[in-house]
Structure 1
Amino acid sequence: MFTDIILHERIQKALDAQGIKEATQVQAQAIPLAIQGKDLLVSAETGSGKTFAFLLPMLQRFLEQPAPNRGTRALILVPTRELAEQVTQSCIKLAAFTHIKALTICGGSGFKEQAAKLRKNPEIVVGTPGRIKEHLELNSLVLSDIEFLILDEADRMLDMGFREDVTTITSSCGTDRQTMLFSATLKTRDIEDLIEQVLKSPERLILSTAQDQISTIVQQIILADDIKHKERLISAILDEEKPERAVVFTNTRAASVHLGNVLKYHKHRTASLHGEMDQVERRKTLRFFRDGHVQVLVATDVAARGLDIDGVDLVINFEMPRSGDEYVHRIGRTGRAGKSGTAITLIAPSEWNLMRSVERYLKLSFTQRTIAGFLGHYKGPEKVKSSGKAAGSKKKKELKDKLDTKPKVKERHRDKKAIGKRRAPTSNAESATPIDQGFAPLKKRKAPDAG
């Protein structure tokens, strides 16, 4: 219960207005530590409520210790624009009965307009590393008064190539601050240098890892012959499942646009979402999806991290994600907050090995499924390829056996009979001396006369 955590009455009022009564596991463990001022390193499964775990203690501090004449007091870094706007909206709802302001700073929006809003000193800034760094370089954002630094989906920011930007931003923040790192697939060995740089004696809450199965999500695969077969399967799956809302993931922008058009042709209410859309289009697309005007969202991985939309009960991977971590984040768009969901991945022949590597990484086995009337010719590899180690050992053994085996010499019957007997010469040539054979002995060279 949130009532077990002593929160400011205005924050409690905002929670009651949203009908939120129960604290999740990550919230119950992280919030008391954060209120004590400790740095945190938190890994918890997607959809577990990590956003409230860092927003609530932050708002609590600002209400208990108001500082109207200071600059920005909290910076929240996230990898994508969609996640930035979602975190900002969560903050606005929680701060509805306070004077605390939050602002989104990310690409796709006018730089000058953002700079004008920053001059009003919002207490909380939520942004992506690239645009935040731009404002720092042009002095339109000052971070010397920062009290809270939050890195949400920290590992993803580094994977996207933001390591240098994140390092520059964190070094610009005030040293007297509280820092928290959150992710659903946190691998500390990959970001250990960042942890050492930004965290001070952190409390580690590793509540789950990528290998922990999400029990509320049914995970299935369907084998497909090729792209055209996948397109027919997607439409058939949607007709069979009849989801309230579905997210279909592709690996490229071009694939998301093409597949969106294919599904529209088959009379599915569909919209595409990808990184090359401007921010106005992206907001409009997500709003239509949330409001139910769009049933199917075909998206690239810009929608894979942190996006929380009620009613998503089906996720389809049109293409196998490139890593186990990305798979976890994709399917995490369903089965959130304890609700049930289904995740289906379409596997072409070229994706079988990648699928198997994801299974090994996540330590699970996907359930194979078929759609009546849409069976393909591909049934999986005819012969499962042995592991590299086993294949290498087999080759070494074959080579050793080859070297150890002496070449066989064909033996004649008459040779076997002659074993142990002295062989008589068969011709004069065999018994002759070298001289007899026509080789003249070397003559002794005569020494030259002296003089």
Structure 2
Amino acid sequence: MFADFALHERLLKAVAELNFTEPTPVQREAIPPALAGKDLRVIAQTGSGKTAAFALPLLNRLIGDAEPRVRVRALILLPTRELAQQTLKEMEKFSRYTFIKSMLITGGEGFKEQAAALRKTPDILIGTPGRLIEHLDAGNLRLDEVEVLVLDEADRMLDMGFAEAMERLTGECANRQQTLLFSATTGGAVMREVIGKVLREPLHLMLNRVSELNENTRQQIICADDVAHKERLLHWLLANETYQKAIIFTNTRAQADRIYGRLVAEGVKAFILHGDKEHAERKQAIERLKQGGNKVLVATDVAARGLDVEGLDLVINFDMPRSGDEYVHRIGRTGRAGAEGLAISLICHFDWNLMSSVERYLKQSFERRVIKELKGSYQGPKNVKASGKAAGTKKKKTDKDGKGAKKTAAKKPAKPAAKRKPAAPSGLVSADGMAPLKRRTTEG
């Protein structure tokens, strides 16, 4: 129960009104050490309640009587506007019975208006790295008295090229007393370097190993011959699958625009979300999806983080994501908070290696699925087996019906000497006549 945590009564009152009864695993593990002032690095699956896990200890630390605000006391860094907006809403819900004031600073809003708002000095500043750096450069922002720094989805910020901005902002918070880092993925070697710089003797909490992420989501692949075949499969799935709301992910804005145009032309209630869209358009797309005005959202990875839509139960990867971490965040839009979800990836020959590397990263094998009405000729690469062409190598045994294999030398009559091909020089080729391929791995 939340009442078991050493939280202020005003926070417990807000929690009770929000019908929060039993803490999630990440909340049970993270809230007590965070309340004790420890630095934390927490890895837990998307939709597991990470926001409350850092919001409640943060608010508990700052809670007090009303007094003039003269400094920013906490900074929460996030990768996208959508995630920042969602976090602000959560902070305001939890702090409704306190005097704590939170403020949002992201791109897409008026810079002068933000500068004026910053002069009122909020207790908690929630923002994206790029716009915060702009306000630092303009002299509108001071962070030297920040007590608590929260890095949410820090791996995504690194993926988006915010490494220098993150380093500078954490440096501006040099006098902080606590740092909390939350993410759904490990982030790899670059993240380990960041952790070494920003966390001080942290407690590491891994609530879910990568192979355990998204356990409530069925993961399938459907093979396709080409992009046109993928489009036909997509239309079939949207017409025949049972779902409340769906997201279709692409790797490029141009592909997202193309799919969106095709869907609208066929009468599908769809909306589109990518980096070229204005802030108002992106906000409208998410609101329409949440309210049910549109059942389908076509998006690039800008929507893979910070999008929490109730009833979103189908994710289709039109393009396979380029890393295991990105895959985790995409399919994490469904199967949230114990609900069941379905994630389908459409795989052409040029997607197969990416798909295989994601399977290795997750230590999982995706379910293979075939749509009978649209079955294509491509069903994955053919296995390359030793053929016994090189001299001195093993001979391949014959199947019972003799198909698909060469007969062994013992059973096959020898050719006349004049027609026999010369043997390959020893040591010049491998057993299958090919140089060994280097295995490519993906850490995500």
Q: TM-score, normalising length from structure 1?
A: 0.83
CA distance 1:33–1:67, shift in 2 (3 Å): farther
Q: Aligned-pair RMSD on alpha carbons? A: 1.9
1:186 matched to which residue of 2? 186
**Cα-to-partner distance string for 1:248-282 (whole Å, 9 max, x where unaligned):** 10101111111112112222210000011111111
Give the superposition deviation at 1:195: 1.6
Q: Indicate the larger mover: 366-375 or 269-278.
A: 366-375
CA distance in 1, matches of 2:262, 2:101: 42
The 5-angstrom pairing of residues 22-421 of structure 1 reads 22-64=22-64, 68-187=68-187, 189-384=189-384, 400-401=426-427
Q: Alpha carbons of 1:100 and 1:399: their partners in 2 closer, same or farther (altered >3 Å)? A: farther
Distance in structure 2 (CA, Å) of the matches to 1:385 and 1:277: 49
SS of corresponding position for 1:197: helix
State the match for 1:425 in structure 2.
none
Q: CA–CA distance in 2 between the matches of 1:64 and 1:385?
A: 71
Q: Percent identity between the aligned chains?
A: 51
Give the match's secondary structure for 1:220.
Answer: strand
Partner AA of 1:286 in structure 2? I
Q: How far did residue 385 of structure 1 move?
A: 8.3
Mean alpha-carbon deviation: is it higher for 163-172 or for 97-106?
Answer: 97-106
Most deviating of 179-188 and 338-347: 179-188
Q: Specify whether residues 224 and 168 from structure 1 end up closer, same or farther in structure 2 by C-alpha distance, changes over 3 A only.
A: same
- 1:253 corresponds to which letter in structure 2? R
Cα distance in 1, alignment partners of residues 306 and 284 from structure 2: 18
Does the 8 A contact of 2:219 with 2:366 survive in 1? yes
- Measured after TM superposition, the shift of residue 164 of structure 1 is 0.8
* TM-aligned CA distance change 1:331 to 1:384, over 3 Å: farther
Give per-residue Cα distances to partners, 1:150-201, cap 9 Å, x unaligned: 1111112112211111111111114142111111112463223322221111
Deviations 1:22-53 (A, max 9, x none): 21111111111111111111111111111111
Q: Secondary structure at the match of 1:281?
A: helix
How many corresponding residue pairs?
393
Q: Offset of 1:119 from its aligned partner?
A: 1.0
Q: Is the partner of 2:374 in helix, strand or coil?
A: coil
Give the 3 Å change call, closer, same or farther, for CA 101–275 of structure 1 in structure 2.
same
Distance 1:188 1:177, change over 3 A: farther
SS at match of 1:7: coil
Distance between the aligned counterparts of 1:228 and 1:192, measured in 2?
A: 41
Which residue of structure 1 aligns with residue 10 of structure 2? 10
How far does the alpha carbon of each residue in 1:120-174 deviate from its partner, in whole angstroms, 9 at most, with x for none?
Answer: 1111111111111111111111112211101111112112211111111111114
Quote the Cα distance in structure 2 between the aligned partners of 1:66 and 1:188. 43
The alignment partner of 1:313 has SS state of strand
Quick one: structure 1 residues 92 and 350, their matched pair in 2 at CA, closer, same or farther if it must change by over 3 Å? same
Give the Å deviation of 1:214.
2.3
How far off its partner does 1:209 sit? 3.4
**Higher Rg of the two aligned structures:** 1
Contact 2:80 2:306 in 1 (8 A): no
Comparing both structures, which one devotes a greater share of its residues to helix? 1
Deviating 4+ runs (over 4 angstroms): 64-67
What is the DSSP-based 3-state SS (H/G/I as helix, E as strand, rest coil) of the residue aligned with 2:350? helix
TM-score of the aligned structures, taking structure 2 as reference length: 0.85
CA contact (8 A) 1:70 1:145 kept: no
Preserved CA contact (<8 Å) 2:221 2:346:
yes
1:215-243, Cα deviation, whole Å (9 max, x unpaired):
21100001111111111111211222131
